[in-house]
Every structure is written in structure tokens, then in C-alpha cells.
A = this chain, B = another copy of it.
Amino acid sequence: MNTRQLTELGQQLRVDSVRAAAAAGSGHPTSSMSAADLLAVLFANHLRYDFDRPAHPGNDRFILSKGHASPLLYAAYKAAGAINDTELMTFRRLGSRLEGHPTPRRLPWVETATGSLGQGLPVGVGIALSGKRLDRVGYRVWVLCGDSEMAEGSVWEAAEHAGYEHLDNLVAIVDVNRLGQRGPTRHGHDLDAYARRFRAFGWHTVEVDGHDVDAIDRAYGEAVSTVGQPTAIIARTLKGKGVASVQDREGLHGKPLPDADEAIEELGGVRDLRIEVRQPPAARMLHAVRAGHLELPRYETGDEVATRDAYGQALAALGTARGDVVALDGEVSDSTRAEFFAKEHPDRFFECYIAEQQLVAAAVGLAARGWVPYVSTFAAFLTRAHDFVRMASISGAGINLVGSHAGVAIGQDGPSQMGLEDLAMFRAVHGSTVLYPCDANQTAKLVAEMAGCEGVRYLRTSRGGMPVLYGPNEEFPVGGSKVLRVSPQDRLTVVAAGATVHEALKAAHALAADGISVQVIDLYSVKPVDRRALREAAEHTGCLLTVEDHHEEGGLGDAVLDAFLDGRPTPRLVRLAVRTMPGSASPEEQLHAAGIDAESIAAAAKLLVENAIVR
């Protein structure tokens, strides 16, 4: 398109943004209007995208990181012929695909859910990594960012990663409209403040008037021709551009325009320009990857093996069998044992250094391109990426997260390194799967199993060695459990997972010597839980004693409740969990101090028997 057409198109996108927000009675038209020219030029002259085939491997990828400017995105979809005006007017209504913030669950052209700021660029880095290192298709990733979100550290994790990896297939477009939600941003229209920062992280930068369509066009051209560096286009814009009553004014964030009809007139009225978006070049389908026979590692029962070791070995084996499996590390692969994968499959291993937000975001980006990512770091440090995990679930992203060094059982390093909130965090994620194995063969099977689940999957591993309980041929379906001890004389059921399974077995052994028989269940699938097994246990003994190496809230003890929430009689419940703040001590001392070792379990069981609380 030429200058006049582009200018007209920009105005059309503004008008349609105003109309959509007016129809909805809410939304962010002023944030859309600032970026309208940026998007018009991109869609009309640079983006290569087949709207009929969003899965086309050669498609460029566009991410609206400032997701609240969704009216602009939908207006551009309309101009590209992907949706019609009737649908545009359903914006933000019940059942509409056009949500307040775009999500790929509903719209096939959206790469990742946005709306939590500072996430679009890190996910874009993941997609750009896929393009550079795996797909080897020449697509470009365009990310439209707001200026306010430049305050998020995750943006600079992304800037660091992209600069270091020389991702010249990545373009960040920063819509510097000077105004955040509650007032001016830190740097206002000081474009160089942003450019300086990007340059320091190794980016090529272009400063541009974001309402000069020719200058924008040249800037995009410069980005496309820049080799060896990602490009940041820093664009000076005006929030609410084109309508005098709102342009560059405070207090108008996230509100429909006061007088939409007048604004539309001022913008030159409704138009119906069509963009012929450039088609992507022919490209082979992604992931014509081998799928071979899976040879999981096998462990001898009775051997002492850490589940983190089994994770690393199983992941390496899975990588051998499946060419679509990739692994990502937060600079702790020697501890999580992801290094076993790295050694065998260096081409599919991504070192993300100590930047857990970018780590998870890269996985989301890789999953968007069809890869099956396994992310691992300490369970405790996955809390750093909680918001990214939350947004991944909104995207419907299929990612595997593995947290090592679970619980007080890690020993001397102390509470900062102990995952004690991770089960609660991952259980509360919509549609998640939460697994917590207690032995090496179980871990190996679950590592393979989790790849087939939907949504966010979490596996919790332990630092120290634990005896192998199960044979290598045993199966562990997600949603299952294992009864490790049962007899007609059982007075109560001990429900454990991971490290506490072994403590529970020791306790059961000691109690048996005292004439007290207890059932022991290994609840390796924390979400979904094995409702049938728990209900049978409730009928069998009438009392469940849960034991977990996790804070008492939101973990195993809460999870068992899922089996009894339909109004059926609930068994008596007793919970052992970490209730105090640990310090440094040996693993055994830690388990004892927390009251979750064999001795504590046996003592609790005896108390219940003595007080005739169990039958």
C-alpha cells in the first residue's frame, strides 16, 4: 500500500477500534489508536501470513503484547478479511471469540494469550528460537509492545536472551504513547531511554515517528534487513491519536470514547479498506520428526536412586524416541539432571540462564510452534514464573514443568531452596496435571506419560536418593495411585507421595510391630487424584492420614478432598505437613523437625488409635 492508502487504513483501524469499544461499552480504544499506524503498515506491507492457514509453517508470527489494545487487533483482522464487521461488533460479549484480551484458545491467529504485560516479548523469543534453531523456516516474529510494560523485568530477560542468541528474526515494536494506565510513564516520549536500554542488550534500534506511515515502512524494512541482531523499533505515538478530545490526555485509559459518533466523524468516518496480507513462502511442514521406540531407563528395586536422576535419564530417552521433545534449563541442569538430555540432544537443549520468566515463556513459544517442551529448575524457583504459568494455562499451552529439590528433604541449603509451595501453585492452575513420584521407575514412566496430557503439567522431583519400590514394567497412569500395603485389620490409611511414601512404609512397618495395621497409598497423581482409590480407602478404614513434604495448605492434604466433594460422607482426616520455618539441617533432621518422618507418622497413628478416633 502507498502512503495515502496506509494513512487511510490507519484511520479505519482507529474507527473500528472506537466502534468495537463503543458497542461493548468497555475496552481500550485510546491504546489502540496510538498503535493503529504501526499495525496498518505491518499488516499491509510486511507481515507474511495466510489467515486461512494459521498453521502454515512459513507464516510470520504476530504477538500483541499490549493485549488490552485488542480492538486494534480485531480491527486489523477485519481489514484482512479474517472476521467480518458483525463479529467485530460482538467484542467482549458472552460467547464471542473477541475477548477483552486475545487468546489462542478462541482465535487461531493468536500465538499466545496476552493481557498480563511483559509476556509477549519473552514468548516471542521462544518462537523466534524455534524458527532459528529448530524449524529453520525463515519466518519473522513481530511483537507489538506498550511502553509501560518496559518496566517489567521479564522484558529485559527477553532482551538479554534475544540479543545473546542473535535473533535477527525477532522485531519488537514499542508503542511509546507516553501514558500508562494511571498517568505518564517513567520516560514519557524519551525514545532514546528505551533505545539505549535495548542497545545495551545487543539489539539494533530504530527510532521513528509512529504516525508517519512512510517512516514506519522504512523502519520495518530496516528491521527485515538487519542481520545478526534483533531489532527494536521505538515509535513515538499519541494515545488516542486522531481525536482531539482524547488525544495525548490522561485519565482515558481503558474507557470507550465519550462520544463515539463524533470521534468517528473526526476520524473521517467508517471505511471498508481491505488488506491483501502477503502470503508466506512455501515451507515444509514442521516436525517431520522421527518417532522411534521409547527405551526408558530401568532401575532395580531396592537400589537408591534420586527421582531427579531418573527424570534426567528418562528425558534423555524420551528425546531419543521423540524428535519433537525439547528441554529448557534455568542454569541448574547439573542439579535438575536436565544435563543428561543436554549431552545427548544439544540441538534441542535451550539454556535460559537464571531467568525463570523467560524460561517458561520460551517453552510457551516453543509449544506454540508444536514442540513438546520440558522446563526444569528448582521447584522453589518456578514460583518466579507463576504469572507465566497462569497465562500459559489461558493460552492452553501444552508445557511440561519439572521442579526439583522438593521440600525440606533437601537438607542443609535451607528454606530459600526448598519447594514448599509448588503443589499449591500448580494445583490452582486451570486444567493442570500435578505428579509427584516416589521412585525412579515411577518417575521415568511419568516423564513419558505427562507428554500426552493437556495443558500445564507439573512433575515434582527430589534431591536425595530413595529406594526403588516398583519394577520397571509397572504402569502409572495419570489420575492413578498405588496401594502399597493393605490388610483387613487396617485401622487407618496413610496417604503419601514422593519422599513421604518411604517414611509411611517405615512407619507402617514399625506400627505393625506394635500390633497396629495401617494401609499405605502412594498418591503419585496429586491432580487429578484417584477418587476411586481414596473412596475405597475411606470405606476401608474411615480415616485418612495425609503426609506431605510441603506446606500444609494447597498440597496433598487438600488434594484428597477432591474425592469427597459431592456431598458423600467424608472420612476423618488428619494431616501431617510442614508447619514451621525450616533452617539448615540434614535431610533426616529436617523430616523429623517438620514432623513428617516415619517416627512422626507412627506417633500420629498411635495417638489416633489410643484416643479411639480410629476404629
Contact with B along A157-198 (1 / 0, CB 8 A): 100100010000000000000001110011000000000110
Q: Establish whether residues A101 and B413, one from each chain, have CB atoms under 8 Å apart when the complex forms.
A: yes
A380 in the interface (beta carbon within 8 A): yes
CB pair A354–B154 under 8 Å, yes or no, is no
> Are A551 and B160 within 8 A (Cβ)?
no
Known A-B contacts A197-B201, A428-B425; the reply to A117 vs B354 at CB < 8 A is yes
Most chain B C-beta atoms within 10 Å of own C-beta, residue among A67, A332, A558, A589: A558
Which of chain A's residues 439-461 have a Cβ closer than 8 Å to chain B? none
**Residues 22-77 of A contacting B (Cβ, < 8 Å):** 24, 26-27, 67
Question: Are A581 and B200 within 8 A (Cβ)?
Answer: no
CB distance from A333 to the nearest CB of B (A): 5
Cβ contacts A to B, 30 pairs, < 8 Å: A94-B586, A94-B589, A96-B583, A100-B414, A101-B413, A101-B414, A103-B414, A105-B581, A113-B416, A115-B413, A151-B157, A152-B153, A153-B156, A153-B157, A153-B357, A180-B331, A182-B331, A182-B335, A182-B339, A200-B200, A380-B387, A380-B390, A383-B386, A386-B386, A421-B425, A424-B424, A561-B561, A564-B573, A570-B572, A570-B573
The reply to whether the CB of A381 lies closer than 8 angstroms to some CB of chain B is yes
| CB 8 Å contact bits of A337-349 with B (1 = contact, 0 = none) | 0010000000000
Distance between Cα atoms of A428 and B613 in the complex (Å) = 28
Give the distance to chain B from A375, nearest Cβ to Cβ, in Å: 15
**Could you say which residues of chain B place their CB within 8 Å of the CB of A180?**
331, 353-354
- Residue-wise, chain A 584-615 has the 8 Å CB interface mask toward B (1 for contact) of 11100100010000000000000010010110
Interface residues of A in 405-431 (CB under 8 A from B): 411-417, 420-421, 424-425, 427-431
Are B572 and A568 interface neighbours, CB within 8 A? yes
Q: Are B428 and A421 in contact (CB under 8 A)?
A: yes
The residue on B at minimum CB distance from A391 is B416
Closest partner residue, chain B, to A196 (CB atom): B200
8 A Cβ contacts from A376-401 to B: 380-381, 383-384, 386-387, 390-391, 393-394
Give the interface centre of A95, A153, A608 by most chain B CB atoms within 10 Å.
A153
Closest to A97 in B: B583
Residues of B within 8 A of A95 (CB): 583, 585
Interface size class of A (residues with CB under 8 A): 35 or more
Q: Hey, what's the 0/1 contact readout for A187-222 against B, CB within 8 Å counting as 1?
A: 000000000110111000000000000000000000
Of all chain B residues, the one with the shortest Cβ separation from A185 is B353
Which 4 residue pairs of A and B lie closest in terms of their CB atoms, listed nearest first? A153-B153, A115-B416, A424-B428, A554-B554
State the copy count for this chain. 2
| A288 CB–B CB distance under 8 Å | no
What residues of B have a CB within 8 angstroms of the CB of A420 in the complex? 428, 430
A417 touches B353 (CB 8 A): no
User: Which of B114, B153, B554 is the one whose CB lies under 8 Å from A424?
Assistant: B554
Query: A148 to B554, Cβ gap below 8 A?
Result: no
Cβ A152 vs Cβ B355 within 8 A:
yes
Q: How far is it, in angstroms, between the C-alpha of A472 and the C-alpha of B51 when the chains are bound?
A: 58
**Whose C-beta in chain B lies nearest to the C-beta of A165?**
B186
Contacts of A155 in B (CB 8 A): 153
User: By the criterion CB–CB under 8 Å, are A553 and B554 in contact?
Assistant: yes
* Closest B residue by C-beta to A424: B428
> Is A133 interfacial (CB-CB < 8 Å)?
no
A584 with B182: CB separation less than 8 A: no
Are B99 and A584 in contact, CB atoms less than 8 angstroms apart? yes
Given A339-B182, A566-B574, A572-B570; A353-B148 close (CB under 8 Å): yes
How far, in whole Å, are A574 and B555 apart by their CA atoms in the complex?
19
Q: Does A539 contact B (CB under 8 A)?
A: no
The contact of A565 among B153, B554, B574, B583, by CB within 8 Å, is: B574
Report chain B residues within 8 Å CB of A331.
Answer: 148, 151, 180-182
Let me know if A557 is at the binding interface, CB within 8 A: yes
